[in-house]
């Protein structure tokens, strides 16, 4: 299927923006995204046109909201007029990033895991958990039609497992989940799985921002940053601003110690993503986008 996206939309920037850990760029040049039991291969074919591996119905029901395509990011970006040069530069540099609407359970666990881990380590841990306890999405993507009827090339063949449910993590047991590299985060994840059995994550979307934030701080090992990450990256609450080491550094070093994000109101979380992306790429160019943490 071919789709057109006229708004800001950069697959590479989205993939490396520190909000999702299972996105990959394939050998064919397509980008792979996974959410729940759904997997997407998407490739830009020309300006504003993208070839997708899903049906029109799946795009509308799953991927259109996943990429937050009902929001005009160009309009958000163009309205930002800030006296701070770094913020203005970050907004321009981050053009194309979108705040993803990810699965809440997976987002909660991945950001629990993210504490004091580099992004490659987080991604490796998340994939290991999926391999250990998750169910196959489908057996072999080579059998799936891609875009206009062509098959995904052999270089993109992969067996993909979905992120496990709380029940599947508990069934796997502490020993097997510990072997995925969680370290001291293991009890946080196992406790989250126990608590999640009693949680209706879909119903939580009916809560206001503060109530939603409070609901996730009740999980063992979840503080303000992780709760804000879940609010922002799973529920689309784009006023929420997770403050990790990179955003803290931006506030201290680039904003004179004065937090600029509350001034952006309902889109503060989007501006935070631009700042996070810019800070990681510019503050440590030797390390770059591949291995800086989301701590």
pLDDT tens-digit map of 243-266: 999 999 999 999 999 999 999 999
What pLDDT is recorded for position 294? 55
Other Cβ atoms less than 10 A from the Cβ of 148: the count is 9
d(CA 23, CA 278): 19
Q: With bands split at pLDDT 50, 70 and 90, how would you rate the model's confidence at 63? A: very high
pLDDT tens-digit map of 151-204: 443 445 577 899 999 999 999 999 999 999 999 999 999 999 999 999 999 999
What pLDDT is recorded for position 136? 86
Residue pointed to by tokens 């040069």: 85
What pLDDT is recorded for position 21? 94
- Give the residue from 113, 105, 130 showing the smallest Cα distance to 181: 113
d(CA 34, CA 73): 22
Q: What is the mean pLDDT of residues 27-47?
A: 92
259 burial (CB, 10 Å; 0-12 / 13-18 / 19+) is middle
Its sign, for the CA torsion 177, 178, 182, 188, is positive
- Whether residue 147 is predicted with pLDDT greater than 50 in this model: the reply is no
| Whole-prediction pTM | 0.89
- Give the residue from 273, 282, 289 showing the smallest Cα distance to 76: 273
What pLDDT is recorded for position 118? 85
d(CA 272, CA 270): 5
- Whether residue 23 is predicted with pLDDT greater than 60 in this model: the reply is yes
Check: CB of residue 109 under 8 Å from CB of residue 102: no
Q: What is the mean pLDDT of residues 74-80?
A: 93
What pLDDT is recorded for position 83? 86
Average pLDDT, the chain: 89
- Whether residue 138 is predicted with pLDDT greater than 80 in this model: the reply is no
Domain range list for the chain: 2-284
Check: CB of residue 191 under 8 Å from CB of residue 121: no
Record the tokens describing residue 187, joined without a space: 């009890």
Q: With bands split at pLDDT 50, 70 and 90, how would you rate the model's confidence at 143? A: very low
Q: What is the mean pLDDT of residues 60-74?
A: 97
What pLDDT is recorded for position 142? 46
What pLDDT is recorded for position 28? 87
Q: What is the DSSP string of 132-157?
A: HHPPEEES-GGGSEETTTEEPPGGG-
Angle at 68 between CA 63 and CA 73, to 5 degrees: 140
Overall CATH class of domain 2-284: mainly alpha
What pLDDT is recorded for position 236? 97
């Amino acid at each position: 299927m071919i789709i057109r996206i006229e708004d800001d939309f950069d697959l590479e920037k989205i993939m490396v923006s520190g909000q999702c850990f299972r996105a990959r760029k394939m050998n064919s040049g397509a980008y792979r995204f996974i959410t729940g039991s759904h997997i997407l291969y998407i490739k830009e074919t020309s300006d504003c046109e993208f070839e997708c591996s899903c049906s029109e119905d799946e795009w509308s029901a799953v991927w259109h909201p996943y990429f937050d395509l009902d929001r005009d990011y160009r309009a958000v970006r163009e309205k930002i007029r800030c006296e701070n040069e770094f913020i203005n530069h970050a907004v321009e540099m981050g053009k194309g990033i979108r705040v993803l609407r990810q699965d809440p359970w997976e987002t909660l666990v991945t950001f629990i895991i993210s504490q004091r881990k580099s992004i490659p380590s987080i991604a490796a841990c998340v994939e290991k958990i999926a391999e250990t306890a998750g169910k196959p999405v489908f057996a072999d993507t080579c059998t799936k039609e891609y875009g206009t009827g062509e098959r995904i090339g052999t270089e993109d063949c992969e067996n993909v497992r979905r992120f496990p449910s709380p029940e599947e993590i508990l069934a796997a047991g502490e020993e097997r989940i510990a072997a995925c590299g969680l370290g001291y985060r293991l009890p946080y994840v196992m406790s989250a799985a126990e608590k999640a059995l009693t949680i209706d994550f879909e119903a939580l979307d009916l809560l206001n921002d503060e109530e939603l934030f409070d609901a996730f701080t009740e999980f063992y090992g979840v503080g303000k940053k992780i709760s804000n990450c879940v609010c922002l990256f799973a529920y689309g609450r784009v006023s929420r601003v997770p403050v990790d080491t990179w955003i803290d550094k931006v506030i201290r070093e680039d904003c004179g110690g004065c937090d600029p994000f509350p001034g952006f109101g309902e889109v503060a979380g989007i501006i935070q993503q631009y700042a996070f992306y810019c800070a990681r790429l510019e503050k440590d160019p030797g390390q770059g986008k591949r291995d800086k943490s989301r701590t």
